[in-house]
């Protein structure tokens, strides 16, 4: 059976990097590099000529900034973009503007790092080819339920823990949920598939937008109301409990369900430690990480929510979780915050 190859246009101002990218990703039989571009103006012409399925894009580019180019492209001729960038805060501007995903550029000094980079890039090109264009997914703000419309804000005698897991498309989906929640929110733990370094920048970004504190988790951090902790990009984050209450363990470890951090690791620890005093939310992403963990949470008495197919960039993780019985309610991402608050006020 013949498979249709994924047509890729590489856009980078470095001739060396363009050449090595082309050579390495074309080793995969499902990918065809149809062209290379050295700046956004060149890319624009080649997009018209070659009609690629996926465009790899650097942020720092001559003639036009990569983010500016991305915004113009998504407005005029939307394409699926995988950002290939160094450690740069503009990554999240790019995701917000419509990029499907990103891969951190390697230092080029480590053979193992290069190998991991090309493996990750090929994987994300394949995922992006199955993803929905971001322009088709609008996370519309829904008025958050508050006491002003006869719904009590969260006031629970029993400490609650909200656990959220996401992958491709999850940075914006998680933001769509968190930015609607009130300052009095219960403790939140988030595992988002993301490389080391980027998780701190992501947490800092959320902290500027949300009404409560958001930060990258550090081993031993206490889990308290009004605080959201983001799993570090190179560690597994677990919920734990001692005589003082809940805290997190953030430790190096093997990949679980193909990831470090893994959503399954977080969800299973939450199920084991906090059982029915939890709410689990699984958002957009490829694969099945988090599905088994969410089912375990549900079986231990947690309330579980899954993002619906229409609002997912990639309906993978929530789909598997739903199919195995781990999801109690599916919802468009923009309405999850309201469902969450209703559930908290019901208990």
Known catalytic residues?
A: 167, 193, 289
Among candidate residues 28, 57, 76, 344, the one with its CA nearest the CA of residue 187: 344
The full 3-state SS of 46-106, as one line of letters, equals HHHHHCCCEEEECCCCCCCCHHHHHHHHHHHCCCEEEEEECCCCHHHHHHHHCCCEEEECC
Of 80, 253, 285, the C-alpha closest to 306 is: 285
320: closest CA among 344, 299, 289? 289
The answer to whether 196 and 233 are in contact (CB under 8 A) is: yes
Helix (H) or strand (E) run with residue 270 in it: helix 263-274
Percent helix, strand and coil across the chain, each to the nearest 5: 35, 25, 40
Q: How many angstroms separate the Cα of 243 from the Cα of each of 126, 227, 240, 246, 274?
A: 46, 20, 11, 9, 14
Quote the strand ranges of the chain, DSSP E: 6-11, 31-37, 54-57, 80-85, 101-104, 161-166, 187-192, 213-216, 227-230, 236-242, 245-251, 278-282, 303-307, 329-331
| CA-wise closest residue to 255 among 246, 243, 264 | 264
In sign, the C-alpha dihedral spanning 88, 103, 217, 249 is negative
**C-alpha closest to that of 105 among 141, 148, 60:** 60
């Amino acid at each position: 059976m013949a498979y249709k190859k994924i047509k890729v246009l590489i856009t980078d101002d470095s001739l060396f990097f363009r050449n090595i990218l082309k050579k390495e990703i074309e080793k995969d039989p499902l990918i065809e590099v149809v062209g290379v571009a050295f700046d956004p103006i060149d890319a624009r012409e080649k997009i018209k000529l070659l009609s690629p399925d996926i465009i790899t894009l650097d942020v720092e580019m001559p003639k036009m900034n990569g983010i500016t180019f991305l915004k113009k492209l998504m407005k005029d001729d939307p394409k699926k973009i995988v950002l290939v960038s160094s450690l740069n805060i503009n990554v999240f501007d790019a995701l917000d503007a419509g990029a499907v995903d990103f891969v951190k550029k390697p230092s080029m000094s480590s053979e193992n790092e290069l190998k991991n980079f090309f493996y990750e890039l090929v994987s994300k090109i394949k995922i992006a080819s199955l993803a929905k264009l971001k322009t088709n997914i609008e996370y519309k703000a829904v008025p958050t339920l508050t006491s002003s419309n006869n719904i009590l804000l969260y006031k629970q005698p029993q400490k609650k823990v909200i656990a959220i897991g996401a992958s491709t498309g999850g940075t914006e989906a998680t933001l769509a949920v968190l930015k609607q929640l009130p300052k009095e929110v219960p403790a939140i733990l988030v595992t988002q598939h993301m490389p080391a370094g980027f998780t701190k920048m992501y947490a800092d970004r959320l902290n500027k937008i949300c009404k409560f504190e958001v930060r990258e988790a550090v081993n031993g951090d206490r889990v308290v109301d009004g605080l959201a902790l983001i799993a570090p990009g190179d560690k597994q984050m677990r919920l734990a409990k001692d005589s003082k209450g809940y805290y997190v363990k953030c430790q190096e470890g093997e990949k679980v369900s193909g990831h470090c951090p893994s959503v399954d690791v977080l969800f299973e620890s939450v199920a084991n430690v906090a059982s029915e005093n939890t709410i689990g939310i699984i958002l957009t992403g490829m694969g099945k990480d988090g599905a088994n963990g969410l089912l375990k949470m549900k079986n231990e008495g947690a309330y579980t929510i899954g993002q619906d197919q229409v609002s997912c960039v990639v309906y993978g993780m929530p789909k598997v979780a739903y199919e195995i019985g781990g999801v109690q309610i599916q919802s468009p991402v923009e309405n999850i915050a309201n469902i969450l608050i209703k559930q908290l006020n019901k208990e």
